[in-house]
Amino acid sequence: MNITDREHLRALFTKPTNYINTNRGDAYYRELYKKMEKRLAQLKAQKPVREAEMKFEEYLKVWELTRRDFLKWVSATTAMLMLPPQFEPLVAQAAEVMNRIPIIWINIQDCAGNTEALLRSYSPTVDELILEYLSVEYHEVIMAAAGDQAEQNLEKAVKDFDGKYLLFVEGSIPVGMPEAFTIGRHPKTGVEHVKHLAEHAAAVIAVGSCAAFGGVPAAYPNPTGAVGVMDVVKGKPIINIPACPANPANITGVVIHYILTGEIPELDSLSQTKVCLWIQNS
Ligand code: SF4
């Protein structure tokens, strides 16, 4: 996009698709409730992707969070997802089955600041606890494996969870200088790495402004030709969660929505979730 093209920018930010319908009527919410109940029952019947070290309640205690903290989080998240209060019990149940959804998280041209923001918070929040509880099958920053073993783990996860995992991408992708990012003993460029993993994912989540729109690496003169995920990956649902770093509440919001519906949230013209926008802007 040419950012000097004011008309193009105006059209992008004022598209009718950016508006949100916050009240869809009783019949709509009744149907949605039934659909979510059914989806949760299916997920509960499944085994966790990876057995959590503790039960969810035990995690709350270890992280020194009370049931009251959790219920406050449930109310806020239900509102953030633009659901009426009667959906709160479903949101609480969704948090407790987060470990049924496999996650692959990769880092391209980034500072790992989005990961750091989740890991190094002084006072943990329920969002951070929930991200800890997720079944993260591969994450270059936090996993113990390295080198060949890491590559094998990644390919095993892709094979085992083909079409089922959520792919989180952190960082921009150098398309103008592909060799600026390579990974593995049989090196893949950032473009190849992202395209390969996106092809087998259920959906792709671009975390942080770098992954969403190119961010800092794309600043003039953009020596590596850095772009966001949506400029490289086509034919897959892509959700942008911009900000530097991304807000953990938006990340959990997207995953909770996926758990409840099996679908990605409604998106605006910039592929951002409409449901979480108020947190990005607050
Ligand atoms: S969006 Fe910010 S925190 Fe995330 S990788 Fe880019 S510079 Fe780092």
The residue whose C-alpha atom lies closest to atom 6 belonging to ligand 1 is: 210
Give residue 57 CA to ligand 1 midpoint distance, Å: 32
The whole-model pTM stands at 0.88
How far is C-alpha 141 from the chain's CA centre? Answer: 16
CATH 3.90.25.10 applies to domain 35-281: no
Residues 6+ apart with CB under 8 A from 162: 200
> Would residue 114 be called left, alpha or beta, if left means φ above 0 and alpha means ψ between -120 and 50 degrees?
alpha
- The number of CA neighbours under 13 Å toward the Cβ of 79 is 7
The amino acid occupying position 245 is P
Residue 278 pairs with which residues in a beta bridge? Answer: none
Residue 192 confidence class, pLDDT cut points 50, 70, 90: very high
Q: Looking at ligand 1, which atom is closest to the CA of residue 208?
A: 1
Q: Looking at ligand 1, which atom is closest to the CA of residue 116?
A: 3
pLDDT in tens, 86-142: 999 999 999 889 888 999 999 999 999 888 877 765 556 777 777 777 788 888 887
Name the residue with higher pLDDT: 254 or 53.
254
- Is 254's pLDDT higher than 70? yes
- Within the chain, residue ranges assigned H as helices are 6-13, 26-45, 56-62, 67-80, 88-96, 113-119, 126-133, 147-160, 190-199, 208-213, 248-261, 277-281
Give residue 82 CA to ligand 1 midpoint distance, Å: 28
The residue whose C-alpha atom lies closest to atom 5 belonging to ligand 1 is: 110
Give residue 188 CA to ligand 1 midpoint distance, Å: 22
Pocket, ligand 1, Cβ cutoff 6 A:
110-111, 113-114, 170-171, 208-210, 215-216, 244-245
**Mean pLDDT confidence for 188-215:** 96
Q: In a mutational test of the pocket of ligand 1, which residue from 108, 111, 121 has the highest number of ligand atoms less than 8 Å from its CB?
A: 111
Q: In a mutational test of the pocket of ligand 1, which residue from 109, 110, 222, 224 has the highest number of ligand atoms less than 8 Å from its CB?
A: 110
**Mean pLDDT confidence for 157-180:** 95
Tell me which residue has tokens 């949101």. 91
Q: What is the predicted pLDDT for the residue at 124?
A: 63
Give residue 215 CA to ligand 1 midpoint distance, Å: 7
Give residue 112 CA to ligand 1 midpoint distance, Å: 7
Contact (CB, 8 A) for 241 and 272: yes
